[in-house]
A and B are shown apart, each in its own frame.
Chain A
């Protein structure tokens, strides 16, 4: 998914305020939750001088 896949709908609320609804234009959101740990390294692993 990229910024280009973002769809925006503008709605005028009853009191005049605007509301934007954003959705993915292709397929929407699936339930797959990527593991946020992938490709993120702990601070200790990259530098030999870390942590006395």
Chain B
């Protein structure tokens, strides 16, 4: 079964993808599907003995270029739709071990240009409205393959999180004539206590209303809507910032730090006057302390209200220290 079912109470689509139950789960290292294919050995997703960055259609996609017809009929109240879209896997390196922090700098620059290229190409496909570029890292967030990689989902609709973000931005712009994200960034910089790192083109900070203890947002200073608008100098700075943030995370507890990294950018095929947002990354790490996971429990899942048991100002200081330790190390 592979289809979209509409929940009229929450006003959201849910993807049914029952084939994903059988996806590859923690394979042994010599059967990693994201490694290069060794001549005479197990054939991986990349049938080459070497590569730099690889992108392929997910073998177990939630959304399909040519979706099958839905298995059941919808109703007027609860419609159903084909699970149309794109699900790609982005393999950062042929090396089985590593992270954004340990990749060669030029590989991270290359990866950002690959993200740009995928955004441009996928945005031209009929029916695509939103492209989500993200990375899940660590078993704590359900990662089934440890080889450094990320994913791209392209949806036939604007999903609830970016839709809410863009709706807030539109309301703010109507009220003030300004960009909500630019004003938030100005406010964070004026306060300064939650800023963890800055460069000419980017600012990283723990947000005022962080939902996770070590949540970090990375904003472009210029009001850009999407990756293709970045200048080459901003791409290089972004690569440095991403490497430094992930390196700092790993320094915190001297162990690979789990996180979700989400790239927020404009919807595609925007109509005239549609709010386009402000390019930024958000990191959601589930750890609230060493060996202590933040669970999304009753209050978060049942009410939609997060409880953060750490002060963002203190966690920003802790992160600055980790980044400083990294810088000195």
Which chain A residues have a beta carbon within 8 Å of chain B's beta carbons? 1-3, 6, 8, 11, 13, 15, 17-24, 28-44, 46-47, 49-52
Contact = CB atoms under 8 A, between A and B. Distances in A.
Which 3 A-B pairs give the minimum distances between C-beta atoms? A50-B192, A43-B195, A34-B105
A3 B237 contact: no
A23 B53 CA distance: 7
Contacts, number: 140
Given A1-B109, A20-B55, A42-B196, 16 more contacts: A3-B117, A3-B232, A13-B56, A21-B52, A29-B106, A32-B105, A34-B106, A36-B244, A37-B240, A40-B240, A40-B244, A41-B198, A43-B194, A47-B189, A47-B190, A50-B193
A31 B316 CA distance: 32
Contacts of B15: none
B104 A43 contact: no
Interface residues of B, number: 53
Contacts of A39: 199-200, 237, 240
A46 B106 CA distance: 28
B226 interface: no
Given A11-B47, A43-B205, A36 B324 contact: no
B87 to A, nearest CB: 11
B107 A29 contact: yes
Contacts of A31: 104
Contacts of B235: 3
Interface of B: 45-48, 51-57, 59, 101, 104-107, 109-110, 113-114, 116-117, 189-200, 204-205, 232, 235, 237, 239-241, 243-244, 247, 316-317, 320, 323-324, 326-327
B322 to A, nearest CB: 11
A44 B101 CA distance: 22
A46 B233 CA distance: 21
